[in-house]
Structure 1
């Protein structure tokens, strides 16, 4: 797809990579599925960089607007899933 990931230019390179990795995990959930543990690990690392709920909503909203992939719905489904489940979004 042709879009850019929402990033904050105040982040370090490592922080930017962590956030991009999270959004790639969301893409993977939509495109081919992802193991729940892998997705939740990416989300936990993302939350270390973006602890604010307001900032998370802003970034995830921008990502959804550009990609069509909902981080909120994906994480919600992962939280409801059991350990060892594969997360597949439609």
Structure 2
């Protein structure tokens, strides 16, 4: 796993920060791990992401920032997870 400087907002609580890190790591796994990542986990983490960042503009900004840093899309990974026919998804 690469060490990226993840998009982080100072107003996130410690719990929100941990949840966001879990999402970033899950997206990374979808792209990097041979077995991919559990699709259900991605959907749950993405829904939590939307709770933490209810504004669509904020969600898009975070996804853009994350994509600029890692080349991985949070939203595209979520879309793949919602359409998954298998337990795990791989990007």
**Shift, 1:56, TM fit:** 0.5
Tell me which residue corresponds to 1:87. Answer: 89
Q: Distance in 2 between matches of 1:77 and 1:60?
A: 15
After superposition, residues 20-35 of structure 1 pair within 5 angstroms as 20-32=21-33, 33-35=36-38
Q: Distance in 2 between matches of 1:15 and 1:35?
A: 21
Tell me which residue corresponds to 2:81. Answer: 78
Cα RMSD for the two superposed structures: 1.2
The unaligned stretches of length 5 or more in structure 2 are: none
Deviation readout 1:51-82 (Å, 9 max, x if unpaired): 11110000011001001111121111112223
Tell me which residue corresponds to 1:16. Answer: 17
Q: Distance in 2 between matches of 1:9 and 1:29?
A: 27
TM-score by length of 2: 0.88
The unaligned stretches of length 5 or more in structure 1 are: none
The ranges of structure 1 where at least 4 consecutive aligned residues each deviate by more than 4 angstroms after the TM superposition are none
Q: Distance in 2 between matches of 1:11 and 1:25?
A: 19
Tell me which residue corresponds to 1:68. Answer: 71
Tell me which residue corresponds to 1:6. Answer: 7
